[in-house]
């Protein structure tokens, strides 16, 4: 068995603001585990091939300097599969985030783009081809 990603973490300067952002923009359910750590339940989905997709993660206070404004994608980025990338990008903006690259088409895969949360973290969105 190959190593698989089974958990992710979001670092935030303002955990409450980040919690609100992910609940509003992506509909994730966050639950406080400790005073300093929130669990993130992203939910599970089935892709068109009948496979279950999705992992859960955590949200915690950033313990060092955050990402530099206007920096390029420069980290280990998580990408979130969505049904409608345009609708999700609008929800990101409505929740206080930014779209940092407009959606682009990748032949045979679908539509991809990058957004930034309220804490300066970049994440990817993907809408598979139907």
pLDDT (tens digit per residue) in 11-22: 999 999 999 999
The helices-and-strands tally (H runs, E runs) of the chain is 2, 10
Q: What is the reported pTM?
A: 0.80
List the domain boundaries for the chain. Answer: 7-62+73-128
- For residue 17, the surrounding DSSP H or E stretch is helix 15-26
Homologous superfamily of 7-62+73-128 in CATH? Answer: 2,3-Dihydroxybiphenyl 1,2-Dioxygenase, domain 1 (3.10.180.10)
pLDDT (tens digit per residue) in 65-87: 777 776 766 667 889 989 999 99
Rounded Cα distance, 75 and 57, in Å: 17
**Integer-rounded Cα radius of gyration of the chain:** 15
Computed over every residue of the chain, the mean pLDDT equals 88
Say whether pLDDT at 42 is over 80.
Answer: yes
Q: Which of 26-40, 52-66, 109-123 has the lowest mean pLDDT?
A: 52-66
Tokens linked to 68: 């530099």
């Amino acid at each position: 068995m190959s190593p698989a990603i089974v958990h992710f973490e979001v670092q935030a300067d303002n955990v409450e603001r980040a919690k609100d952002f992910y609940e509003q923009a992506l509909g994730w359910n966050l639950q406080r585990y400790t005073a300093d750590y929130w669990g993130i339940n992203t939910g599970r989905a089935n892709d068109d091939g009948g496979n279950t997709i999705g992992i859960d993660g955590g949200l915690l206070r950033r313990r060092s300097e955050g990402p530099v404004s206007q920096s390029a994608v420069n980290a280990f980025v998580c990408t979130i599969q969505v049904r409608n990338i345009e609708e999700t990008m609008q929800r990101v903006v409505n929740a206080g985030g930014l779209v940092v690259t407009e959606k682009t088409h990748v032949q045979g895969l679908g539509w991809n783009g990058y957004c930034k949360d309220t804490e300066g973290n970049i994440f990817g969105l993907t809408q598979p081809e139907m």
